[in-house]
Structure 1
Amino acid sequence: MSRRVALSVVAGVVLLGGAGAFVLARAGEQSPASAHSTARYSAPDGNRDGSLVFVTDVTESSGVKSVKVLAWPQQSSLAEKRPTAEDMAAAETAVCKPAGQDTLRCTYTVRVTDADAKSSPRGTWYVAVLVTGKDGTTTLNTEAADFTVR
């Protein structure tokens, strides 16, 4: 192998190694993400309260600072503008538990009384979720899951 070819091979290995390190570093800087989100709504029945249970898996390489959850009806003012990060600041926080490397399973549960159900708009509702990483990065999904109020 000539010296020029050997130098080209070494330069290529160094370049590819640098690119690989960049990709790995970049992967560590990705925004937080939620996945596999589900919402289950149970209406009150007789003397028994109903509930809304929202579950999502959250990944964030820096760690998770908070997961905020907001349920909103399709037939509302939020339907036109969608919830914003500012709207989510006052939202309630989900409870998160480890579910694997860099992954948390986050659950939000709220009791639904008969009075709540009677005053709630009928139809499709969406669940918005705002994930904030310990490094300050955020991801907002305004339609992480949906459910129907009848």
Structure 2
Amino acid sequence: MSRRIALSVAAGVVVLGGAGAFALAHAGEQPPASAHSTARYVAPDGDRDGSLTFVTDVTASSGVKSVKVLAWPQSSSLAKDELTTKDMAAAESAVCKPSGKDTARCTYTTKVTASDAESSPRGAWHIAVLATAQDGTTTLDTKAADFTIG
């Protein structure tokens, strides 16, 4: 191999190595992200209460600090005004358990009484999620999952 080719290869390795180190450093600064989110609504039946269960996997490089969950009807004013992190301050918390290196499986469950179901708007509903990492970064997903009240 000629000296020029050897120097070019060596320079390329240094450049690629530097880019790889930058990519790893940058990956460590990513805000929390939710994935594989599902919502399951079970209507009350007779004397039996129903339920709403929401499950999501949240990944945060610094660790998951908290996950807040808010169910909202598509027919509400939130559809045009857009939810904000301030709106999520009073939302209920999900229970999160570690499920991987930087990932937690978070579950929110609430019972739905017959009177809750009767007073709730019919149609499409969305689940909003505010994920907060240990380092304080947050991510708001206003439509992490959907369900229907019929």
Under a length normalisation based on structure 1, what TM-score does the superposition of the two structures give? 0.94
Aligned residues: 150
Q: Give 2:51's aligned residue.
A: 51
- 1:14 Cα offset (Å): 1.2
Name the CA distance, whole Å, in 2 between partners of 1:63 and 1:11: 36
Q: Alignment partner of 2:83: what SS?
A: coil
CA drift at 1:108:
0.2
Q: CA offsets per residue over residues 66-97 of structure 1, 9 Å max, x none?
A: 10100000010101122111101111100011
Aligned-pair CA distance for 1:4: 4.4
- Identity, in percent, stands at 76
Unaligned runs of 5+ in 2: none
TM-score between the two structures when normalised by the length of structure 2: 0.94
Match of 1:70 in 2: 70
Root-mean-square deviation (Å): 1.2
- Residue equivalent to 1:36: 36
* Secondary structure of the structure 2 residue equivalent to 1:23: helix
The 2-side partners of 1:109 and 1:82 are apart by 24
Rounded Cα–Cα distance in structure 1 between residues aligned with 2:5 and 2:51:
69
Q: Is 1:114 aligned with 2:114? A: yes
TM superposition shift of 1:2: 4.8
Q: Residue 11 of structure 1 corresponds to which residue in structure 2? A: 11
